[in-house]
Structure 1
Amino acid sequence: MKIIIAGAGDVGFHLGKLLAHEDHDITLIDTDEESLNHAANHIDVATVKGSSTSFSVLEEAKVSKSDMLISVTSSEETNLITAMVAKRLGAKRTIARINNSELLHSRDILDMRRMGVDEMISPQLLATKEIKRLLKEAAITDTFEFEKGLLSLIGITIDEEKPLCGKTLEETTYLNKDFKFLTVAILRNDETLIPRGDTRFQLGDHVYYIAKPEGVESVLQLTGKKLSKKIKRLIILGGGKVGFYAARSLSHKYNVVLIEKDRDKAIELAEELPNTLVIHGDGRNVDLLEEEGIDTADAFIAVTGDSETNIITSLVAKKHGVQKTIALVENMDYIHLSQNMGVDTLINKKLIAASFIFRYIRRGEIISLTNVHGVDAEVLEFVVNENSPVTKKELKDLGFPKSAIIGGAIRKGKAYIPKGDFQFEPYDRAVVLTRPECISKVEAFFR
């Protein structure tokens, strides 16, 4: 595919990085030469300097021959105009990053596709959905369900000496006799490991599992965790777009307190969020947090515009016994640090947006895709075709890439954690964790 990305910021760069492992022809457009040089030096892309709303710039990028144009600059207006112009100049499909959620809710009325914008994505709304997902279980740092919970991806930090610590994966198989779960990834000191039999667990490892419903509790017991009491009360710090959307979405299910330091904004939020208790104050003030009952909160979500504030206040919340802490950070390099910092999960709305867009470009029979926070890997769900190579041999004989692992299968409504003698059948669903550079090889097994 020929893909043009307008905007060489964090979203555009990460998207280019994800796509660089494919056989795509990628062109990056930006007005900032330094950003373009950085991208060209790190990923395999062509670059064009200039405004993506310019006819001549788009023509230089050969937009008329493009299969997809993705506009993810920091300007909503630029993104919309770029998509509209590109469509008129021959781009087959266009995606625009927006900030105004009203456009998403009114897309049918406005008929954005007729205007040339095939798809719109809002990083703020995507971050809100991610927060909602992460609140499902406090003891788990990351969770994602497949087929309404028949299989789940869960992430847990090993912070106790036993029974896993110091043992290899092979040495701990007796703890999983019924094969209710499978270890699919380990995040250790910023490095993502696809575990094998001789991989040894270490204290501080962040371990990811694919588990059946009954296997989730087994994993928690194995790692010294317990199913937490259900989250009922949560505090949101920051009344920006993410904080507002999160409060509006979560207040129907949880008792929500939102803290905003700008007085006028706090008053405005109180009027717009009738089901949320809005407090005017500085969340960095520990006394204020204590006054607002941080000791009785089940979750703390810090989404101010300052990454350091979000991290520090989340650590304060953790010290006060809050079960679940989520901090929004702007710097993508911070994402890998969450396991060492003590914050349960760090999220980056730009990274979430890039991964969301990525799924539109996939080729195989992928029906879902999720990014695991901090892990340099993607989790894909495939539908197995009738003639897929994966149906021809048992798992152990497939020659499946070492940088990927099949974590689970679903057949006729029943979940399986596949062993070496498992053989896929047509219309099965497969859950695979893979390093980005290996996605194309993995897809080939399911075509």
Structure 2
Amino acid sequence: MKIIIAGAGAVGTHLAKLLSGEKQDIILMDENEEKLSKLDSNFDLMTVNASPTSISGLKNAGVAGADLFIGVMPEESRNMTACMLATNLGAKKTVARIDNYEYLLPKHKEFFSHLGVHSLIYPEMLAAKEIVDAIKMSWIRQWWEFCGGALVLIGTKMRETAEILNVPLHELGGRNIPFHIVAIKRGNETIIPRGDDTIKLHDIVYFTTTKKYIPYIRKIAGKENYADVRNVMIMGGSRIAVRTTQYVPEYMQVKIIENDINRCNRLTEVVDDKVMIINGDGRDMDLLLEEGLRNTEAFVALTDNSETNILACLAAKRMGVTKTVAEVENIDYISMAESLDIGTVINKKMIAASHIYQMMLDADVSNVKCLTFANADVAEFTVKAGSRITKDAIKDMGLPKGVTIGGLIRNGEGILVTGNTIIQPEDHVVVFCLGMMIKKAEKFFN
């Protein structure tokens, strides 16, 4: 597959690194030669030093034979222009990164497609949705719904109160167990568990289950005493913060603390009246305490500085806040953030890359989620008639090491699978893949 990525910024370089390991034909375009020179020698990709909005530059990059053209430059208008030009010069499919929510409305889809922009991605909106999913339940690190919630994935950290510590998985209730443990994150290692594996203190355990069994998982994880989130404090009035306030449930009270007075004035115009805007430095503990930090169940740090966000969440934890979320855009800091136990980490680059990655899979995939801490992906495949996965029971399928099936949705109902389960056409199957294994798993669903 020939893929051209326009823009060697944070999202473009992360995506190029991700895809270069896939043995795809990757071309990264940017007019800044310095950005490109850092990448060229270290990864299996080609770089083109030209403007992605230049017709001659696009021709030199070989856009006529491109299967996928991805515009991820900082400026929305340049991404749209580059995609339109790429389509007219022969690219089969285009994706543009945008920052205008209005463009995503279903009524505009055909209009943009006609112009040559086939898909749109808005990383700030995707990040805001992840934040809201993370704060809805204070005891959960990651939460992901499949098929409108028929099946859910829950990631939660094991504390001393967990009932399932040090018990081999095959002893956890046998065939009638109402959940499936798809992965265990232990230190820097992610384990696809087998029956004789055990869960240890401080593991992050990923469960798939149906919604009615969430209270049961909360109980066995020892998290029943965690307060439900009613009050949310957001540090930093970024675009993600604005989107987050639009997605939080009605029952939550939100405060945004922003240092820049001009930004505060702008926030009062764009957020709901019930959101309180406070002008001040979110690193000032006296200010946070004055504004009710001790009565806050969720603290979300969304400044443009990863270190500030990590430290602010650490401070909030020390003050007794149950749930903290930090935006950490520096990928090198993510494992450090996890070792400091700051709660949920949000990274726009990884979220955007997951969604773009989904578009280049041949199988029918409606969802791909990158699990930030676990170096793993969860994908939701729709099973086609005649595909390999329907030919035998799961245990006889020979799935690659590092791939496990977490559950399936049949006729709108979530079903947990065993080794004897036979998958049928039209099932939606939730597949957990370590590292870059989605491409290998995909072959079973084509």
**Fold conserved between structures, TM > 0.5:** yes
Distance 1:341 1:21, change over 3 A: same
Residue 162 of structure 2 contacts residue 223 of structure 2 at CA under 8 Å; is this kept in 1?
no
Distance 1:284 1:115, change over 3 A: same
Map of 2:278 onto structure 1:
279
User: Following superposition of structure 1 onto structure 2, how do residues 17-416 of structure 1 map, counting pairs within 5 Å?
Assistant: 17-22=17-22, 24-104=24-104, 108=108, 111-160=111-160, 163-170=163-170, 173-175=171-173, 178-226=176-224, 228-250=226-248, 252-273=250-271, 274-416=273-415
Residue 252 of structure 1 contacts residue 275 of structure 1 at CA under 8 Å; is this kept in 2?
no
1:437 is paired with a residue whose SS is: coil
Residue 16 of structure 1 contacts residue 26 of structure 1 at CA under 8 Å; is this kept in 2?
yes
2:172 is paired with a residue whose SS is: helix
Q: In 1, distance between residues paired with 2:223 and 2:327?
A: 25
Q: CA deviation at 1:32?
A: 3.7
1:410 is paired with a residue whose SS is: strand
CA offsets per residue over residues 112-131 of structure 1, 9 Å max, x none?
33433222222212211221
Residue 336 of structure 1 contacts residue 375 of structure 1 at CA under 8 Å; is this kept in 2?
no
Residue 139 of structure 1 contacts residue 227 of structure 1 at CA under 8 Å; is this kept in 2?
no
Of 17-26 and 384-393, more deviation after overlay is shown by 17-26
How many residues are aligned here? 445
Residue 314 of structure 1 contacts residue 343 of structure 1 at CA under 8 Å; is this kept in 2?
yes
Amino acid at match of 2:242: F
Residue 152 of structure 1 contacts residue 210 of structure 1 at CA under 8 Å; is this kept in 2?
yes
Q: CA deviation at 1:141?
A: 0.6
Residue 141 of structure 1 contacts residue 154 of structure 1 at CA under 8 Å; is this kept in 2?
yes
Amino acid at match of 1:377: A
Q: In 2, distance between residues paired with 1:309 and 1:88?
A: 44
Unaligned stretches of 5+ residues in structure 2: none
Residue 247 of structure 1 contacts residue 258 of structure 1 at CA under 8 Å; is this kept in 2?
no
Q: CA deviation at 1:154?
A: 0.5
CA offsets per residue over residues 133-175 of structure 1, 9 Å max, x none?
22221111101112232221000112227644445434xx335
Q: In 2, distance between residues paired with 1:240 and 1:219?
A: 34
Residue 30 of structure 1 contacts residue 50 of structure 1 at CA under 8 Å; is this kept in 2?
yes
Q: CA deviation at 1:290?
A: 0.6
Q: In 2, distance between residues paired with 1:252 and 1:162?
A: 31
1:423 is paired with a residue whose SS is: coil
Residue 184 of structure 2 contacts residue 205 of structure 2 at CA under 8 Å; is this kept in 1?
yes
Q: In 2, distance between residues paired with 1:442 and 1:72?
A: 27
Q: CA deviation at 1:277?
A: 0.9
1:135 is paired with a residue whose SS is: helix
Of 95-104 and 430-439, more deviation after overlay is shown by 95-104
Distance 1:219 1:39, change over 3 A: farther
Residue 36 of structure 1 contacts residue 49 of structure 1 at CA under 8 Å; is this kept in 2?
yes
Q: In 1, distance between residues paired with 2:402 and 2:389?
A: 16
Give the percent of matched residue pairs that are identical in Structure 1 and Structure 2: 39
Amino acid at match of 1:299: A
Q: CA deviation at 1:182?
A: 1.4
Map of 1:420 onto structure 2:
419
Distance 1:382 1:112, change over 3 A: closer
Distance 1:42 1:434, change over 3 A: farther
Of 137-146 and 16-25, more deviation after overlay is shown by 16-25
Q: CA deviation at 1:41?
A: 4.0
Q: In 1, distance between residues paired with 2:13 and 2:61?
A: 17
Q: CA deviation at 1:261?
A: 1.0
Residue 406 of structure 1 contacts residue 418 of structure 1 at CA under 8 Å; is this kept in 2?
yes
Q: CA deviation at 1:374?
A: 1.5
Amino acid at match of 1:271: E
1:148 is paired with a residue whose SS is: helix
RMSD: 2.4
Residue 220 of structure 1 contacts residue 227 of structure 1 at CA under 8 Å; is this kept in 2?
no
Q: When the two structures are superposed, what TM-score results if normalisation uses the length of structure 2?
A: 0.92
Of 352-361 and 81-90, more deviation after overlay is shown by 81-90
Distance 1:389 1:188, change over 3 A: same
Distance 1:248 1:384, change over 3 A: closer
Q: CA deviation at 1:390?
A: 1.4
Distance 1:109 1:415, change over 3 A: closer
